[in-house]
Structure 1
Amino acid sequence: MSTRRIHVIGIGAGSPEHVTAEAAAALAEVDVFLVADKGETKDELVALRRSICERFVPADHPYEVVAVPDPQRGPDAARDGAQYAKGVADWHAARTEAYVRVVEGLPPEAVVGFLVWGDPAFYDSTIRVVDAIGERLATTVRVIPGISAFQALAAAHGVVLHRVGEPVHITTGRRLVDDWTRAGEAGLDLGTVVVMLDGHLRCRELVATAPATTIHWGAYVGMPQQELRSGRLDEVIDEVVELRARLREEHGWVMDVYALTPARP
């Protein structure tokens, strides 16, 4: 049985300038790029991946971009912890099945590439799905890191994410309020809290208890349509909520990330 080569390539947070030399070299080796097709509202994300291929894959290297319909994930916000975990597991299994069918139909010597927004190590399912593919097919996997959304956020705002000697806590919108509350009750210092995958801006729930928290927020970080806002949470959150809703209406999708730095006496 032949071993199929798979590259999982971090391509940064939106700008082609985020693509590292290592990622560019890996792109040049790929014969077939598999991208998740999430519907018309996110065609722009597929188009951006195509443009990165056009820019970095040598003209004399033939390649193909195959859009694979992405399985429906379901209403995560309405699920409790157990339901959420099961929903994600089912989604990963459906994704794996879809990709296995495509890979099995490719020539054995074809190098397969997955282009990962940001860095594959942070809140992305690709490595887990590729590992599951490896349970079905013989594979050799190489992972290339990329610039994460929160790295790009810090650079865009020109800030250091942590105070001297303090930690950085990375979490999701789903967990933000619980993480923040439990840390406070236990007397723990989370330091700056970076929040990803927050479609509901759960930080609004912290305004009453932590109004002087500093927020650094960004949408489409690294892209031409980038929007940034920062300031005291109680002073800018209404503007951020309104802007995020408007951007989603305008583009049909929105990707954003933010960092919360607690006030100090």
Structure 2
Amino acid sequence: MMRLSLVGIGSGNPEHLTLQAIRTLEGADVILLPRKGDEKTELADVRRIIVRDILQTNPKVVEFDYPQRDEKTPKYLDGVNTWHDELAAIWAGLITAEASQKPGDDLCVALMVWGDPSLYDSTLRIAERLLAQGMTLSVSVVPGVTSLQMLTAAHAIPLNDLGAPVIITTGRQLRDQGWPQGADTVAVMLDGQCSFQHLQPNGVRIWWGAYVGMPQQILCEGPLSDVADDIIKARAKARAEHGWIMDIYLLRR
């Protein structure tokens, strides 16, 4: 039997690892560690620090290069599915190679996931592809602290108004569909275009954060009409300085 554990590791601060996450990683035979190019070495470095400084065992670490998604594909979901197929093929090859070195024994493979595997992350969908291909594999999830939790904690605000719903969506949806119906609070993830600038700003407040939980964390909040330009400039500057950026924001009207 081969076991694959998808372990949420939070949003960049090793201190946010749960005891369950640590124990799962310590019990792994192999940890797969993705490299996402020179511009995003910090993402791999956080994972390396966890293995080096936090784990009390010495699991084998296998690093692999993350394929780039073809953003020129006319249909967004077609490009994403092709990308996921490529990742599934890489995972399958690495897991099969490790299993061949332990014939007759169980193999425990772990993969550290930024944030939580269940919230706007692709690892569970990629794991489903392995199962669909017929791999004898059990998949488990260890939840992690999400960037949404880190955002509300950093700004010291509740996620929702009293008795009120929240909608979690993407920048692409906000830009193309406008304000979602059914809630006055909207959490927006995966927004590389600052899609809030397409909204009518009057009466809307924004709480924005980049690199939440990491040493380079940046925060900004206020009426959208007052701080939208500041956020756009801060985001562009941070991306230029670091070569990458992950940000998230909450809107409330």
Deviation at 1:17, TM superposition (A): 1.5
Q: Please, what is the CA RMSD of the aligned residues?
A: 1.5
Please name the residue that 1:105 is paired with: 97
Please name the residue that 1:236 is paired with: 227
The TM-score, its normalising length taken from structure 1, stands at: 0.89
| 2:157 paired with 1:164 | no
Q: Counterparts in 2 of 1:192-211, with a 5 A limit?
A: 192-206=185-199, 209-211=200-202
Structure 1: 5+ residue stretches without partners: none
Does the residue aligned with 2:178 lie in a helix, a strand or coil?
Answer: helix
Distance 1:212 1:256 in 2: 22
Paired AA for residue 252 in structure 2: T
Q: Counterparts in 2 of 1:142-181, with a 5 A limit?
A: 142-181=140-179
Does the residue aligned with 2:82 lie in a helix, a strand or coil?
Answer: helix
Paired AA for residue 255 in structure 1: M
Deviation at 1:71, TM superposition (A): 1.6
Please name the residue that 2:68 is paired with: 72
| 2:224 paired with 1:227 | no
Deviation at 1:179, TM superposition (A): 4.1
Deviation at 1:214, TM superposition (A): 0.6
| Structure-2 change in CA distance of 1:135 and 1:79 (3 Å) | closer
Q: Counterparts in 2 of 1:10-89, with a 5 A limit?
A: 10-58=8-56, 61-75=57-71, 83-89=75-81
Structure 2: 5+ residue stretches without partners: none
Distance 1:34 1:19 in 2: 17
Paired AA for residue 135 in structure 1: A
Does the residue aligned with 2:214 lie in a helix, a strand or coil?
Answer: coil
Identical-residue share of aligned pairs (%): 40
Distance 1:150 1:255 in 2: 12
Distance 2:161 2:73 in 1: 35
Find the partner of 1:121 among 118, 122, 136. 118
Deviation at 1:38, TM superposition (A): 1.3
Deviation at 1:156, TM superposition (A): 0.4
Does the residue aligned with 1:111 lie in a helix, a strand or coil?
Answer: strand
Does the residue aligned with 1:34 lie in a helix, a strand or coil?
Answer: strand
Please name the residue that 2:84 is paired with: 92
Paired AA for residue 257 in structure 1: I
| Structure-2 change in CA distance of 1:13 and 1:218 (3 Å) | same
Moved over 6 A (4+): none
Paired AA for residue 197 in structure 1: L
Distance 1:157 1:55 in 2: 29
| Structure-2 change in CA distance of 1:93 and 1:249 (3 Å) | same
Deviations 1:80-130 (A, max 9, x none): 6xx111111101000000111111110343311110111111110001111
Deviations 1:158-193 (A, max 9, x none): 000110111110000000134434x4xxxx432210
Distance 1:133 1:53 in 2: 26
Residues 26 and 58, structure 2, Cα contact 8 Å, conserved in 1: no
Deviations 1:57-80 (A, max 9, x none): 21xx322222211122022xx666
Does the residue aligned with 2:107 lie in a helix, a strand or coil?
Answer: coil
Paired AA for residue 123 in structure 1: Y
Please name the residue that 1:5 is paired with: 3
Deviation at 1:55, TM superposition (A): 2.9
Distance 2:116 2:186 in 1: 18
Deviations 1:208-230 (A, max 9, x none): x2333110000000000001000
Q: Counterparts in 2 of 1:185-196, with a 5 A limit?
A: 188-196=181-189
The TM-score, its normalising length taken from structure 2, stands at: 0.93
Residues 5 and 140, structure 1, Cα contact 8 Å, conserved in 2: yes
Distance 1:192 1:53 in 2: 38
